[in-house]
Amino acid sequence: MKALMTTPRTTPGTTSRSARPDGTRRRPLTRGIGIQVILWSYAGIAFGPLLLVLMGSFRSNAEILRAPVGLPSSFDVSNYVRAWETASISTYLINSLAVTGASVVLCVSVSALAAYALARWRFRGRALLAAFFLSGLMIPAKLGLLPVFYMFQSMGLIDSRIGLVLLYAAGGIPFSVFVIMGFMRGLPGELEEAARIDGAHEGRLFVSIVLPLMRPALAVVTVFQFAPTWNDFFYPLVLMRSGDKYTIPVGLTRFFGEFAADRGTLFAGLVIALVPLAVVFALATKQIVAGLTAGMSR
Amino acid sequence: MVPAQELNVRPARRRRRQAGRTSLGWIAAFCLPAFALYGLFVVVPLVTAFYYGLFRWEGTRQANFVGIGNYREVFTRYPLSEEITAALGHNVLFFVGTMAIQNTIGLGLAVLLHRNPWGKRLFQTLFSLPYLISPLIVGYIWSLLLSPTFGPINYVLRGVGLDSWARPWLGEPDTALPVLILVNAWQWIGGPMLIFGAALAGVPRELEEAAAIDGASAARTFWKVRFPLLIPAVGVITVLTFIGCFNIFDLVYALGGSDGGPGGAMDVLGLLYYRTAFQGGSNAIGESSALAMLIFVFIFGISVVLERALRRREVT
């Protein structure tokens, strides 16, 4: 689990090249330029579509139909106003924030507790319990949707945001337990031992010693729980009924049906839906890289 | 991938000191919330799905026990029997195409970034930017960009004189699935790139230098020295790609609707399950539960086999 803390090392310089015996010093330069060209062109492919969406969001529908690609003629935000108010993207955004926020908090707290116990304490059935949680890493939980639907019906959780929160939190537990447990194993237990000797009970110890130490792992888990929950479409598609409780992805399907002909508004709606994730990405690139490579380390 | 590895309980050095120290109460307090949540909302529904699949249903009323009857029905009742083979075929093609395109390009980009670290961080960020976008939104973005008459892609093609290339990309059965593979690769390329990147950074420099001094060409050094050390990364990526490709739902829904595009050209198992469960006939619960179990066993089984097979081939 070492990679959890460190982003992949950047290899310094091109030391190996000077070690080449045949003295081809010139080639690396042209090759370097060639590589830069390839990299920039791929950057264009990765980023271009998003740029097209952004440009389209400031153009009027008539402009887009006349010339699908082009710079906006003026800085016109009326598409955004329409998407935000008429298409009630604002409602979807608030629902998404509430559901995602609550489920991340719930998931990370219960996972941190369990992962700590599993990593540090020895008790009967420990390995079995760990396997129980981690088996979820390969289980496509969504295949249980139909039973979930009937269970929710009997519990009165259909069309309820609380139901969504519970589902998402439960679904995120395997990955969170996996990451936090791995992190705890790499951490020496001396501080905890010392606190124990000082007479702190387990709950106190967890809150004031362990939680602060866990922070890097908690950050990774938070980001990785946030993104799929924010993005999820399957559960609300089936479980939510009333439009004012829709989260952004289901809201968007409705929005795309209603505004099918108004491309400018569609682009603006997409941009609004993308902003929160762009913020997360900007704030947490390091955690994202660490989480992506978490499964890799030995 | 992960679980089996985590099962190896570390030789517990602390066992004797700690034995009996943590009381059952604390263990329950720490483990029970996660256990209850995960058990109730993930494990119980899957077990229930298995149970549901053993019965015949009339609407929401549970009728008689039929054992594997529903499973037989899934494979024999028209049109389900044909849809399931078609959907499975699309999933397989989708997986193969993704391995060939997404992961090869990802490896290529990782190697380029490794050789030429200038701006590495910037490029990593740019390339993996689409990673966080909801697949549904990715689907909507591309369906707008690819739309036949007013889509920017066709507009550009016409603009540079390739009028014959301009087509309703998502409206023709022949192009729909390849487009799906490309759009999906566009989104996820950052994953293989970062994982390969981390693995490349872990290859000791001395090995490559030794090979270079011995006169090995760059290509030979890559295939003989570096690539074998990337095999664990290939394993991780293969398993992740497999799971991702067989769970796909949102992207296809956004690109082609719940029927899977023109003539069902992009129909996949996820969509088929959704349709069977929520738009199916009177025995929808029985059939869709059987289908869910089949998909589950298939995905889980193959992931485990893949993981084992690839782990054995690792270089020590």
Angstrom distance (rounded) from CA A53 to CA A83: 14
Chain A residues within 8 A of B10 when measuring between CB atoms:
185
Give residue B252's pLDDT: 93
Between A46 and B2, the more confident residue is A46
Angstrom distance (rounded) from CA B267 to CA B84: 9
CA neighbor of B61 nearest in space, from A178, A34, A198, A150: A150
B297: its two tokens? 């066993």
User: Which of A:58-87 have CB within 8 Å of B?
Assistant: 64-65, 67-69
Among all chains, which residue has been given the structure tokens 């009381």?
B23
Chain A residues within 8 A of B199 when measuring between CB atoms:
296
Cross-chain residue pair A233–B136, CB shorter than 8 Å: yes
End-to-end Cα separation, chain A, in angstroms: 6
The pLDDT confidence band at residue B22, using thresholds 50, 70 and 90, is confident
Between B128 and A289, the more confident residue is B128
Regions of chain A with pLDDT less than 50: 1-25, 295-298
A47: its two tokens? 């980023």
Cross-chain residue pair B212–A296, CB shorter than 8 Å: no
User: What is the pTM for the complete model shown?
Assistant: 0.81
Chain A residues within 8 A of B226 when measuring between CB atoms:
none
Among all chains, which residue has been given the structure tokens 């020295």?
B225
Residue of B nearest to A205 (CA): B26
B261: Cβ–Cβ under 8 A, 6 or more apart, which residues?
B170, B173, B176, B252, B255, B267
Among all chains, which residue has been given the structure tokens 């598609």?
A237
Please determine, for residue B4, whether its predicted confidence score (pLDDT) is greater than 60: no
Among all chains, which residue has been given the structure tokens 């083979």?
B85
State how far Cα B285 lies from the chain centre: 26
Asked if B210 is an interface residue toward chain A (Cβ–Cβ < 8 A), one would say no
The pLDDT confidence band at residue B3, using thresholds 50, 70 and 90, is very low
CA neighbor of B186 nearest in space, from B267, B243, B136, B129: B129
Per mean pLDDT, which range of A3-17, A103-117, B55-69, B272-286 is the poorest? A3-17
Among all chains, which residue has been given the structure tokens 């796909």?
B248
**Could you tell me the CA-to-CA distances from A226 to A165, A173, A218, A279, B245 in Å, in that order?**
12, 13, 12, 12, 21
**Which of B12, B155, B197 lies nearest to residue A68, judging by beta carbons?**
B155
Between A23 and B244, the more confident residue is B244
Cross-chain residue pair B41–A253, CB shorter than 8 Å: no
Asked if B279 is an interface residue toward chain A (Cβ–Cβ < 8 A), one would say no
Give residue A2's pLDDT: 35
A232: its two tokens? 């999820």
Three-state DSSP class for residue B160: coil
Give residue B314's pLDDT: 55
A99: Cβ–Cβ under 8 A, 6 or more apart, which residues?
A161, A164, A165, A168, A229, A247
Angstrom distance (rounded) from CA A172 to CA A184: 18
Three-state DSSP class for residue B55: strand
Cross-chain residue pair B1–A65, CB shorter than 8 Å: no
Chain B residues within 8 A of A42 when measuring between CB atoms:
105, 109, 127
Give residue A228's pLDDT: 86
Asked if B297 is an interface residue toward chain A (Cβ–Cβ < 8 A), one would say no
Asked if the interface predicted TM-score (ipTM) of this complex is over 0.95, the answer is no
**Which of B34, B232, B270 lies nearest to residue A173, judging by beta carbons?**
B34
**Which of A8, A113, A145 lies nearest to residue B277, judging by beta carbons?**
A145
Angstrom distance (rounded) from CA B285 to CA B291: 10
Return the H-helix or E-strand segment holding B61. Answer: strand B61-65
**Could you tell me the CA-to-CA distances from B95 to A16, A18, B178, B247 in Å, in that order?**
37, 41, 11, 11
Give residue A20's pLDDT: 44
Give residue A98's pLDDT: 95
Cross-chain residue pair A203–B26, CB shorter than 8 Å: yes
Give residue A173's pLDDT: 95
B208: its two tokens? 């490559």
Cross-chain residue pair B7–A130, CB shorter than 8 Å: yes
Chain A residues within 8 A of B187 when measuring between CB atoms:
none
The pLDDT confidence band at residue B94, using thresholds 50, 70 and 90, is very high
User: Beta-strand (E) ranges in chain A?
Assistant: none
DSSP string, B185-204: HHHHTHHHHHHHHHHHHTS-
Residues facing B55 on adjacent strands: B65
| Beta carbons of A175 and A291 less than 8 angstroms apart | no
What sign for the dihedral angle of Cα A35, A37, A40, A46?
negative
Give residue B79's pLDDT: 84
Give residue A16's pLDDT: 43
Cross-chain residue pair A296–B236, CB shorter than 8 Å: yes
CA neighbor of B139 nearest in space, from A139, A96, A53: A53
- Give backbone dihedrals phi and psi of B152, rounded to 5 degrees, phi first: -60, -35
Among all chains, which residue has been given the structure tokens 């709606």?
A269
DSSP letter (8 states) at residue A12: P
Three-state DSSP class for residue B19: coil
B309: Cβ–Cβ under 8 A, 6 or more apart, which residues?
none
Asked if B13 is an interface residue toward chain A (Cβ–Cβ < 8 A), one would say no
Angstrom distance (rounded) from CA B140 to CA A70: 20
